[in-house]
Every structure is written in structure tokens, then in C-alpha cells.
DNA sequence: TTTCGTGCAAAACCTTTGCAAAGTG
DNA sequence: CACTTTGCAAAGGTTTTGCACGAAA
């Protein structure tokens, strides 16, 4: 029972997310549920295409995914990430687990780095008068496998 | 004469850049010179459009700028940055002055944060087996003016 | 001279928008 | 029922590609 101070439990996240949806005055539709289910279950940032493919069962339109994600981003449920290839990617924003991405330039593999490791960054930003900082970084490098 | 340990002197940068160009087997053309001149003189990341506009005197094609930047990025002379609006921006990569960007979500103002402030990041990345790390972050927040 | 760079036009690509039909609370 | 959400088709904007001409080493 050594539960860490705050774990991300998928089903719990889905509940929270749906609650946030309602709170923001958005309706809970099947498609939105599917998108959130996918995002809360799987890790790592996904492109719109990938999210779309991920909920293929209940077929729906790409445009709809764009619009849903746009809403989710606006209310802070997902965060946008740029991996440098011109395609926007989105990730469920688990407030309990803020983290950075360590991305391999070669194979695009992504590793997670806990955000608590660098509290200094937020302090520096604050000292420059910035507020509402939510630093989640994309750190590029070459991973062990690809370097070999 | 209180010169900091390593300053970025525009003209010096241009020389270095042109040298790197040749070293990479690329030819030194007027257009490439203009692009590099612009990038080494001015600060902050620029979109392709902005670079194009910046060298209007010697009119040239947008496509050419795309291709030049693509080359410069490949040989490491410029680095790409995503500010979250779907437009790629580029910046001269001054090895002497690695830095992060602190970006205001509202007015898009950019402040520079010296990279040396966070040596820990590189260490963590290395501990995960990553090499060739060059962490330059985009940190989003809301600046003093916009918060008021 | 041979190879590389550029301009132009067209295509590819991701994302957004408008409108009518269907669904939600 | 009023209002939001969705699908479809089309447009918008950025970036890439092909080819012929021009310029650099």
C-alpha cells in the first residue's frame, strides 16, 4: 500500500474531467467522453490524428476532435505540446503530476521527468514578474539506444 | 572594459556562421548572408515571414528562406521554437549564450533567461541516458503588464 | 564545368470556418 | 424547448516539392 502522495488513476481522472466539463458549461456527449477516456487512459502527447484514430470504434469527424480539443485546452484539461514537427500534440493535464518531456530527436521516444525536480525555474520566472506559470518543457536530446 | 566571460558580438557571429556554412559544404550566397546577418543582428525568434520581411532590400523568394533556414537548422546554426500558434520561429543559436524563453501568453512578449541558472536539468537528462542535450525551453506565463 | 542555389507555380498538409442537421439538459 | 454539438464541405494558412534557370567553387 505504498501509495505515492498523488497518483494519476485513469478512471478517477475521467470522472474529474467530466465534472470539469460540466462545470465549464460544456455538455457531456459520447464523443467527448471517448476523447477524454482516451486521453486519461493513455500517456504521452497525441496528435489530433492519433486521438481520432484512437477512438475509431465510435467513428467521428476530425473536425469534431479539433473542436473538442480546443475546448478542453481552453478550460485547462489538456495542454498543448510542440515536438518540433509542425503538428500540435495534446496531453491530459493531470494537475497532480506535472512533468516535463525528454524527447529523443532520433526515435521521438518520450520520457517523463517529474516537475518537482526544478522548483527554481518557477522562482526565476516569478522574479521577472511573470505569474500563472506552468512550466512543462520539451527537452530534446538523443537517447541511449539511438546514440549507440 | 568589463567584458563578460562570453558576449555575443553580431559581426563576430556572422563570421563564425559563414565559416560554419562553408565547413558544412554549403555555398556562401548573397541571400544566405542576408539571412544570417539578420539573425545574428536581431534578437528573439522570427517566423519565416519575418525573416523574409527583414531582408526586403535584396528581394527574394519565401521558398528560398524556408530552404535556407532548413539548412541552417540542420547544421545547428539556428534553433527552432514553437510559440504555440502554429508558426515555426527561428533564432540564431549562439553557443556562447544558451537561454530559455519566458513568454507571455497574452501579449507574446519574450524575456530571456540564462541557461546556466538550471544546470540540474542537463544532469537529470544525462542520468536517463540521454546525450546531446541542448535544453532551451519555452516557459509560458502572464507578464506583469498583462496581469494587471 | 559541374554542382549547388534560387524563383516560380503548384501541391501537400494541418487547421479553421460556415451552415444545416442532430443531440443534450 | 433553447442551446450546443456534430458532420460535411470548403477555405485558410503554412510549409514542401518539382523543374528550369542562374550562380558559385
For A68-106, what is each residue's pLDDT tens digit? Answer: 999 999 998 998 988 888 899 999 987 667 788 888 877
Average pLDDT over residues B91-111: 80
Q: Are residues B112 and B143 in the same domain?
A: yes
Stretch 75-114 of chain B: residues touching chain A, C-beta under 8 Å: 80, 82, 84, 86, 88, 102, 104-105, 111, 113
Q: For residue B56, is it within any domain? A: yes
Average pLDDT over residues B117-137: 80
Question: Cα A127 to chain center, whole Å?
Answer: 27
Q: For residue A37, is it within any domain? A: yes
Which residues partner with B92 through β-bridges? Answer: B78
Q: For residue B28, is it within any domain? A: yes
Output the DSSP codes for A50-98.
HHHHHTTTS---HHHHHHHHHHHHHTTSEEEEE-SSS-EEEEE--TT--
Q: For residue A4, is it within any domain? A: no
Output the DSSP codes for B10-26.
HHHHHHHHHHHHHHTT-
- Record the cell numbers describing residue A57, joined without a space: 470504434
Stretch 116-135 of chain A: residues touching chain B, C-beta under 8 Å: 117-118, 120-121, 124-125, 128-135
Q: Which nucleotide is nearest to A28 (CA to C1')?
A: C24
Q: Are residues B47 and B116 in the same domain?
A: no
- Boundary (domain end) residue, out of A77, A92, A107: A92
Q: For residue B2, is it within any domain? A: no
Which residues partner with A104 through β-bridges? Answer: A141
Q: Read off φ and ψ for residue A6, nearest 5 degrees.
A: -160, 105
Q: Do residue B133 and residue A147 have CB atoms under 8 angstroms apart?
A: no
Q: Are residues B88 and B25 in the same domain?
A: yes
Read off the pLDDT of residues A117-136 as tens digits, 9 standing for 90 and up.
677 777 888 899 888 887 67
Residue A7 CA to C18 C1' — how many Å?
Answer: 43
Q: Are residues B75 and B133 in the same domain?
A: no
Q: Are residues A72 and A15 in the same domain?
A: yes
Q: Are residues B119 and B138 in the same domain?
A: yes
Three-class DSSP category at A102: strand
CB-based contact B67:B31 (threshold 8 Å): no
Q: Are residues B84 and B111 in the same domain?
A: no
Question: What is the model's pLDDT at position B117?
Answer: 65
Q: Are residues A64 and A42 in the same domain?
A: yes
B141 part of contact set with chain A, CB < 8 Å: yes
Q: Which residue is nearest to nucleotide C4 (CA to C1')?
A: B27
Tell me the whole-structure pTM to 2 decimals.
Answer: 0.84
From residue B24, alpha-carbon distances to A79, A147, B33 in Å are 38, 22, 15
Domain that holds residue A120: 99-147
Q: For residue B3, is it within any domain? A: no
Question: What is the CATH classification number for the domain harbouring A105?
Answer: 3.30.1490.190
Q: Are residues B88 and B104 in the same domain?
A: no
Domain total for chain A?
2
In angstroms, how far apart are the furthest CA atoms of chain B? 52
Q: Are residues B106 and B87 in the same domain?
A: no
Q: Which nucleotide is nearest to B61 (CA to C1')?
A: C7
Q: Read off φ and ψ for residue A93, nearest 5 degrees.
A: -95, 90
Q: For residue B4, is it within any domain? A: no
Q: For residue A2, is it within any domain? A: no
pLDDT at B25 over 80: yes
Amino acid at each position: 500500500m505504498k501509495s505515492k502522495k498523488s497518483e494519476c488513476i485513469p478512471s478517477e481522472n475521467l470522472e474529474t474531467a467530466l465534472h470539469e466539463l460540466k462545470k465549464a458549461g460544456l455538455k457531456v456527449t459520447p464523443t467527448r467522453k471517448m476523447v477524454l477516456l482516451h486521453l486519461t487512459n493513455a500517456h504521452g502527447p497525441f496528435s489530433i490524428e492519433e486521438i481520432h484514430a484512437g477512438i475509431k470504434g465510435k467513428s467521428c469527424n476530425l473536425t469534431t476532435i479539433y473542436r473538442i480539443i480546443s475546448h478542453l485546452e481552453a478550460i485547462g484539461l489538456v495542454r498543448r505540446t510542440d515536438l518540433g514537427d509542425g503538428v500540435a500534440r495534446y496531453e491530459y493535464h493531470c494537475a497532480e503530476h506535472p512533468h516535463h518531456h525528454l524527447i529523443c530527436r532520433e526515435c521521438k521516444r518520450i520520457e517523463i521527468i517529474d516537475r518537482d525536480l526544478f522548483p527554481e525555474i518557477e522562482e526565476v520566472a516569478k522574479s521577472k514578474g511573470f505569474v500563472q506559470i506552468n512550466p512543462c518543457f520539451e527537452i530534446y536530446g538523443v537517447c541511449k539506444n539511438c546514440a549507440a
